[in-house]
Amino acid sequence: MVPSVQVSFYDADELKSEVSWIPNKHYSGIYGLMKLTLTKALPSDLSKVIVLDTDITFATDIAELWGIFRKFTDKQVIGLVENQSDWYLGNLWKNHKPWPALGRGFNTGVILLYLERLRRISWEQMWRLTAERELMSMLSTSLADQDIFNAFIKQNPVLVHQLPCFWNVQLSDHTRSEQCYTEVSDLKVIHWNSPKKLRVKNKHVEFFRNLYLTFLEYDGNLLRRELFGCPSQASPESVQLQAALEELDEDDQCYDFRRERLTVHRVHLYFLQYEYTPTADDTDITLVAQLSMDRLQMLEAICKHWEGPISLALYMSDAEAQQFLRYAQASEVLKNRKNVGYHIVYKEGQFYPVNLVRNVALKNANTPYVFLTDVDFLPMYGLYDYLRKSVVQLDMDHTKKALVVPAFETLRYRLSFPKSKAELLSMLDMGTLYTFRYHVWPKGHAPTNYAEWRTATTPYKVEWEPDFEPYVVVRRDCPEYDQRFVGFGWNKVSHIMELDAQEYDLMVLPNAFMIHMPHAPSFDISKFRSSSSYRNCLNTLKDEFHQDLSRKYGSAALKYLTAQRNI
């Protein structure tokens, strides 16, 4: 939803065969060669394109770069900046034999491609012939597409337009980038083309570091603002959103809550590398949770207690996302866990959109079952395997069940975690542990029937009661959380109510448990406690939710209305 920006995706698999025949030693693999296929990949009516590597930072308006196309002669089809390393001179080490290039060669981190003209001169055939000829002696490319572009230009120098070097200042140990500028203020594009990024030897490294960090911590929401004097074609989504916002009554005391429901958050799925191999038996379970920066310390402990896949949605600002990245990279536990999907939902608005964030985690779980929990709970050791067995025993594949994992809590920051149900029961009797929220919100978990759980050896069914909000294992196709509930209050209650309306059986597992760890209260619970208008609006939203439930499920939902009136 950035004004005047449209994004298109192209299926790389359809293009692989164009370049997969080229042996390539570059770390980018086959994808590094894909720039060669752009005349074919991009729409035939697109006449010009600027191609950028992803490690590029602009320090100026890209419109200036577009303007350079006007300086091309009739024959020129490619605009490039000279390579700032000695790579193509072949003097970096003994017996170094680079691909042929014109002088120092050109760097393909920033390319102006005149597609219309390239198609006219049969670019596809020309680069293929060049590659085939050179591979006979070179055997493979070292710098992927760059080697082939340079060999092509050496044969056809008239086709290249050399860009001033400040359009691609290459930062790496072997470059002579400092000869490219006298003042750092002259720079237009910085290319971080070294795996070392900020650790390169350059006297202006502090300037580059500041520019880089400013970019990383930039508030991405600002990009959505329309600039004055820059009329743009509004997207259908933003027109729809604007219409919905205009329908809201600004005098409604719950206006802020209703507006929150219409906020379209930026979401970055799979923020870190994720690897998951499905299990052969189709019983796999993903732990699903959401968190913000103040709960980050729970992640390592959860990873130690749950070895299965995890889907986490993190509600953060752009700057916090960068802090999280540094935290994850420094943690031995998190670094070694690849089956955790981290999804960033970027902060916007004044409420914590807790159910929207939960839905992002839920929708991106890719196992048949999900364990819907909160990040401040530690599952018992071995819960992952126990739940997978329970899924089979209770035939969840063919029945509508929600498996309840009984919740307990400790008020101690350092807890010797119970290794078994027997140990947990003795800690309960000694007062080291309590049933969850028994002293502030007993309704939330009382229907679990802890008295029966103490002696139960087989799963037992419990009935829904008002305000019941257990943590459950369900099939992934369960209803989503209702996104009108933001901040504190009723966000899980409404979800369990809908599971009940859809006739899920609530089954308590006799040998499962989880323990809530102590932490400072969230900002939203403080708001709920101190603001009567917050509490009034929550009641209004509850009423509307009940009405919607009645419309959706008919007479079956009447019991919820009756229960609400009896409270």
| pLDDT of 488 above 70 | yes
The pLDDT confidence band at residue 6, using thresholds 50, 70 and 90, is confident
Is residue 317 in a domain?
yes
Query: In this structure, how many other beta carbons lie within 10 angstroms of the beta carbon of residue 218?
Result: 12
One-letter amino acid for residue 535 of the chain: R
Is residue 54 in a domain?
yes
Question: Domain ends where: 216, 251, 278?
Answer: 216
Query: In this structure, how many other beta carbons lie within 10 angstroms of the beta carbon of residue 319?
Result: 15
Separation of alpha carbons 33 and 143, rounded Å: 9
Domain shared by 347 and 414, yes or no: yes
Handedness of CA 326, 303, 388, 400 (dihedral sign): negative
Give the mean model confidence (pLDDT) for residues 444-459.
96
Give the mean model confidence (pLDDT) for residues 243-265.
86
Q: How far is CA 224 from the centre of its chain?
A: 19
One-letter amino acid for residue 419 of the chain: K
Check residue 565 and give its pLDDT. 62
Domain shared by 144 and 271, yes or no: no
Is residue 240 in a domain?
no
Is residue 252 in a domain?
no
Domain shared by 486 and 412, yes or no: yes
Domain shared by 23 and 146, yes or no: yes
Query: In this structure, how many other beta carbons lie within 10 angstroms of the beta carbon of residue 130?
Result: 22
Domain shared by 135 and 48, yes or no: yes
Angle at 259 between CA 264 and CA 560, to 5 degrees: 105
Q: What is the DSSP string of 203-235?
A: TTHHHHHHHHHHHHT--GGGGGSPPTT------
Domain shared by 183 and 105, yes or no: yes
**Among the listed residues 553, 454, 538, 540, the one whose alpha carbon sits nearest the alpha carbon of residue 491:** 538
Domain shared by 202 and 298, yes or no: no
Domain shared by 211 and 276, yes or no: no
More confident residue, 239 or 19: 19
pTM recorded for the entire structure: 0.85
Domain shared by 101 and 30, yes or no: yes
| pLDDT of 120 above 70 | yes
Check residue 252 and give its pLDDT. 84
Largest CA distance in the chain: 87
Check residue 152 and give its pLDDT. 97
The pLDDT confidence band at residue 37, using thresholds 50, 70 and 90, is very high
Give the mean model confidence (pLDDT) for residues 555-565.
72
Q: What is the DSSP string of 448-487?
A: G-HHHHHH--S-EEE---TT---EEEEETTSPPPPTT--S
pLDDT in tens, 194-207: 666 667 677 777 78
Domain shared by 273 and 397, yes or no: yes
Sequence-distant (≥ 6) Cβ neighbours of residue 443 within 8 angstroms: 465, 466, 467, 468
Number of domains in the chain: 2
Helices (H), 298-394: 298-305, 318-330, 332-335, 354-363, 383-393
Is residue 503 in a domain?
yes
Residue 485, classified by CB atoms within 10 Å of its CB into exposed (0-12), middle (13-18) or buried (19+), is buried
Angle at 182 between CA 178 and CA 187, to 5 degrees: 80
**Among the listed residues 200, 173, 190, the one whose alpha carbon sits nearest the alpha carbon of residue 92:** 173
Is residue 255 in a domain?
no
Domain shared by 516 and 435, yes or no: yes
Mean model confidence pLDDT for the chain: 90
| pLDDT of 55 above 80 | yes
| pLDDT of 505 above 80 | yes
Domain shared by 324 and 186, yes or no: no
pLDDT in tens, 303-346: 999 999 999 999 999 999 999 999 999 999 999 999 999 999 99
Check residue 197 and give its pLDDT. 62
pLDDT in tens, 170-194: 887 666 667 777 777 778 998 887 6
Separation of alpha carbons 281 and 278, rounded Å: 9
Give residue 185's domain range. Answer: 12-216
Give the mean model confidence (pLDDT) for residues 382-395.
97
Is residue 244 in a domain?
no
| pLDDT of 464 above 80 | yes
CATH at residue 301: 3.90.550.10
Is residue 221 in a domain?
no
Separation of alpha carbons 224 and 3, rounded Å: 6
